Amino acid sequence: MHQPVMLKEILAAMAPADGEVYVDGTFGGGGTARGLLDAAGCEVWGIDRDPAAVNRAAPLIATYGGRLRVLTGRFSEMAELLDGEGVTAVDGIALDLGVSSDQLDAPLRGFSFANDGPLDMRMEGSGQTAADVVNTGAQADLADIIHRFGQDRRARRIARAIVAARAERPISRTLELAAIVARAAPAPQGPGRIHPATRTFQALRIHVNNELGPGGELPCGLMAAERLLAPRGRLAVLSFHSLEDGAVKSFLRTRSGTAPRPSRHAPPPASQRPVSFRLAFRGVQKPDENEIRRNPRSRSARLRAAIRTDAAAWEAAT
């Protein structure tokens, strides 16, 4: 059975209540949805862009007798997806970002180099693969992707090595790419060091699935949540690396009016909009030591949460 990361903290932030309607925007294995449904006599709409996750949902849907419904699509499209089902407002939205354990542990999906598999990384199983990117992208573009989405200072060196390797033969396997990166930019030795290809794989996954950046899944999904949440509705977002968390932090700070000013003595800008969220708690919550021991993948998890006000959504505001 899928065990979501920081479920106790997510449920505390969401405060599920009887008769309310919630969205699990990253359904995956259904762990968060199950937690909400067990906590209260509520309804949950699950959304996932991965058809395999939606197909696996049937037993869970049957278990909850109509209180759970699952839709195929991106969480950035949640307002439109639910409007098509006659739902125009909800009481809470949970987002668990990144790659699910089911995806990481499936070699054929190509998200991980723990096992050999095709260099795919597509959440939806359609469109450009990671192999397409590494075999056709210009060297400068590859370096930009690895630096921007992988935060790897060795991005140019890695991109150069990828281009040299693909000149001999196309790069098609996860272990093949991981070996190329490791040779080009070996990691320092010592405990706690990550594999040198970790950041490259993260960057390619984010790029292939358009997860971040202008028009990306996360920024558009946060704005969709702002539109869909009813007043006093709750948003809980779990992220797993600094780029995701930084985007969530910036969005919530801006929408809650808590973004730092150039000077603490300066008045707020005259054009400041009415806040659309208030923070449920300051900063982030992190997994406790027991959870980290039980699930080492939870180590980097960060939870932020906010409560919707009755102000209008900012729509395309930044």
Q: Which domains does the chain have, with CATH numbers?
A: 7-98+213-308 (3.40.50.150), 113-208 (1.10.150.170)
Q: Is the pLDDT of residue 317 over 50?
A: no
Amino acid 108 reads: L
What pLDDT score was predicted for residue 318? 41
Neighbouring C-beta atoms of residue 112, cutoff 10 Å: 19
Asked whether the beta carbons of 317 and 277 are under 8 A apart, the reply is no
Span 278-284, mean pLDDT?
A: 95
How far is residue 141's CA from residue 18's CA, in Å, rounded to a whole number?
Answer: 50
Which helix or strand (DSSP H or E) is residue 22 part of? strand 21-24
- Output the pTM of the full model: 0.91
Asked whether the beta carbons of 152 and 200 are under 8 A apart, the reply is yes
What pLDDT score was predicted for residue 219? 96
Residue-wise pLDDT tens digits, 10-62: 999 999 999 999 999 999 999 999 999 999 999 999 999 999 899 999 999 99
Beta bridge partners of 278: 307
Dig out the tokens for 97 from the structure. Answer: 């970002």
Span 143-149, mean pLDDT?
A: 97
Q: Is the pLDDT of residue 238 over 90?
A: yes
Asked whether the beta carbons of 306 and 237 are under 8 A apart, the reply is no
Residue-wise pLDDT tens digits, 52-95: 899 999 999 999 989 999 999 999 999 999 999 999 999 999 99
Dig out the tokens for 70 from the structure. Answer: 């699952």
